[in-house]
Structure 1
Amino acid sequence: MKILCIGAGAIGSYIGGSLQMAGNDVVFIERPSLISDLKKNGIWIESIDGKRHHVTDFQVFGNAEEALKNGAFDFALIAIKSFDTESLILSLQKLKEIFPPVLSLQNGVENEEKLAAFLGEKRVIPVSVCTAISRGKENSIKVEKLRGIGIGSSFPLSKRIAAEFKRANLKPKLIEDSKGMKWSKMISNLLANASSAILNMTPAEIFTDSISYKLEIRQLRETLDVMRAYGIQPVDIPGVPIRLLCFAVRHLPTWIVKPLLKKAVGSGRGGKMPSFYIDLYAGRQQSEVEFLNGAVCRYAKQKGIPVPVNELYYRTLMDMAGGRLDKAAFDHAPARLAEGIS
């Protein structure tokens, strides 16, 4: 298949590079300032068995218009951060009629809605990337935990795409309930993510401390309340028994739930610190908390549902990322953070 991959960061390089190695024709779009290094170094992928693969035979363009001059594509991978989705859509306005169906590899639950409003629902295929990867120097990608990739099944291209993903050893799983899949993946992303960044604590420390652990449980219960209000059911995603985890969070004593949460976080991130922590301490002024806890808050507001812990995490981390609040304000101080719950 001929595939357009918008973004050659960790996720784009991993999935696009794997599909290229499997015999597909993958064309990347990347910022012009990064194209030279990408062409020079190619993409290195270290698979779960420790073998390293060098992907070099691909084209790279600085924008979609240039790429589409080389012919039509079967589908496009959207592998950019959620805060870049709207600017991407603006850049594609003139190409709307000829742009291929897209797979949104992004975290959060709002990107598909934005893309569908632009391209139409039938041309937007929801995807949840559950495999844990890390990115080293010179675009070197390492598979930390090969869990798989969920793909919405109710689209004409779904089975064909899943077959190509399987050939590329990406472990696809077709999932009928696309919305449930995206919200379930977001639940796994919420675990000890914002709290780790705000408190400068590891996930293990978050779950060990009684106060921060209770905040995590409240965050998840609030999210499940919002899902219930919209009729969204948790679904199991590749490698994570989300339905069991959600049942436990809602109905079991917190001391029983703790091992399940620890296992979900450990298997999901492969030992890495959470993404919000990495972004904050790398000095990035944008944070995807906007599209995780922030999304929970926006959906909750429409239904009049209180979500105080999600609001606390969202507000605090956005202020830290934007430089309005010192990163050390709640350093290893969950009790002080909990005082901010309205």
Structure 2
Amino acid sequence: MKIAILGAGAIGGYLGVRLAHAGQAVTFIARNRNLESIRTNGFCLIGPDGSREVATNVQATDNMAEAGPQDAVFLTVKAQQIGNLLPQLRALLGPETMVVSMVNGVPWWYFQKLFGAYEGTQLESVDPGGQISHVIDRDRVIGSIVYPACELMEPGVVRLIEGNRFTVGELDGVRSPRLERLSQVLMGAGFKAPVSRDIRSELWVKLWGNLSLNPISALTHATLEDICRYAPTRALVANMMSEGQAVAEKLGVVFRISLDQRIAGAEAVGAHKTSMLLDVEQGRALELQALVQAVIELGRITATPTPALEVVHALCGLLEQTYLSQKAAIRPVLLN
């Protein structure tokens, strides 16, 4: 299978190395030092035990037209980065190309093929003006829930912390031949790739934690176990998760675990920094639109109050604005 990976970072690198070793034709869409490293040295995956796997049988480019039409395009970038990829993305799309959405949070396609009162509703928080939907036809999209934890150590080098599960599902819940083929390709690379008939409900179980633990960690610089073991923040997590659950249930989502079980699961992960906390530490833009703002928008669509989410979203937004503006002010001084 010809597979282009848009986002040659932690998750994209993990997928690409394993898929290449399994005999798939992998092309990384990368930039700058990451691109140079992959072209020169291949992509290196460091396992939890310190073992190294290097995939040299991969292609890497910053020009999607050079890669050409693919069988599958894996979107492993952050949600807010998709818009910048759209001008070139068409070059990767052939008549039957699948676009596998592996972004965190509420995706742009949430209401596509969701039969009922909200079908076709556009989410401005994650797809302003419908720009993504205009380029990526809904019939191409396959949803995926990403469970592994990985870290990009340096250009072209990823460390796997834990996990190998990537759930996949059609937006309408059909178990299609292309979905079966995708699942088989992932399993052939050593991943668990269960096929879901209700990808949105599984999406919400992960989002449940992301909408609460990620922004709280960004504000407090605390790890998952610290947040869950400090009574006031644990109570805030529960409050935010309750608001999210109320929104999701109005959209027909069924939660198969309890709120307390979800929090306990996060606590059991231990002294783990969320991706949003790592973004704060690195001075990068936060995934607020897909993880928090979109849930608030869904609350407005379903007439469900989300006061705790709105407060935390405002605080994180100001935090992001403050350090990004400081970073911008420092840059001209450094250049001089």
- TM class by shorter chain equals 0.7 to 0.9
| TM value normalised by structure 2 | 0.82
Map Cα deviations across residues 142-201 of structure 1 (whole Å, 9 max, x no partner).
Answer: 222225111105344111111111111111111111222222221132352111111222
Corresponding residue for residue 110 of structure 1: 107
- Which whole-Å CA distance do the structure 1 matches of 2:244 and 2:142 have between them? 23
Map Cα deviations across residues 70-121 of structure 1 (whole Å, 9 max, x no partner).
Answer: xx42111111111111222243357666582110111112233555553322
Is 1:216–2:237 an aligned residue pair? Answer: yes
* Alignment RMSD: 2.5
For 2:249, what is the secondary structure of its paired residue?
Answer: helix
- Which whole-Å CA distance do the structure 1 matches of 2:266 and 2:72 have between them? 31
- Which whole-Å CA distance do the structure 2 matches of 1:310 and 1:157 have between them? 38
For 1:172, what is the secondary structure of its paired residue?
Answer: coil
Corresponding residue for residue 87 of structure 1: 84
Within 5 Å, give how 1:81-230 maps onto structure 2.
Answer: 81-92=78-89, 100-113=97-110, 115-152=132-169, 154=174, 155-230=176-251
Shift of residue 264, structure 1, vs aligned partner: 2.9
Give the partner amino acid of 2:179: S
- Which whole-Å CA distance do the structure 1 matches of 2:94 and 2:180 have between them? 24
Percent identity over the alignment is 25
Give the partner amino acid of 1:263: G
1:46/1:34 CA distance change after superposition, 3 Å: closer
- Which whole-Å CA distance do the structure 2 matches of 1:169 and 1:186 have between them? 25
Within 5 Å, give how 1:311-330 maps onto structure 2.
Answer: 311-323=310-322
Runs of 4+ in 1 over 4 A off after TM superposition: 93-99, 113-117, 324-327
Alignment: residue pair count: 302
For 1:322, what is the secondary structure of its paired residue?
Answer: helix
- Which whole-Å CA distance do the structure 2 matches of 1:54 and 1:17 have between them? 7
Whether contact under 8 Å (1:3, 1:24) holds in the other structure is yes
For 2:185, what is the secondary structure of its paired residue?
Answer: helix
Corresponding residue for residue 304 of structure 1: 303
Is 1:261–2:263 an aligned residue pair? Answer: yes
1:133/1:94 CA distance change after superposition, 3 Å: closer
Map Cα deviations across residues 30-70 of structure 1 (whole Å, 9 max, x no partner).
Answer: 125532122123211133555321111211111211210xx
- Which whole-Å CA distance do the structure 1 matches of 2:70 and 2:92 have between them? 13
Gaps of 5+ in 1: 235-242, 250-256, 328-342
Shift of residue 208, structure 1, vs aligned partner: 2.3
1:231/1:125 CA distance change after superposition, 3 Å: same
Shift of residue 260, structure 1, vs aligned partner: 5.2
Corresponding residue for residue 66 of structure 2: 66
Gaps of 5+ in 2: 111-126, 327-336
For 1:292, what is the secondary structure of its paired residue?
Answer: helix
Whether contact under 8 Å (2:146, 2:167) holds in the other structure is yes
Give the partner amino acid of 1:295: A
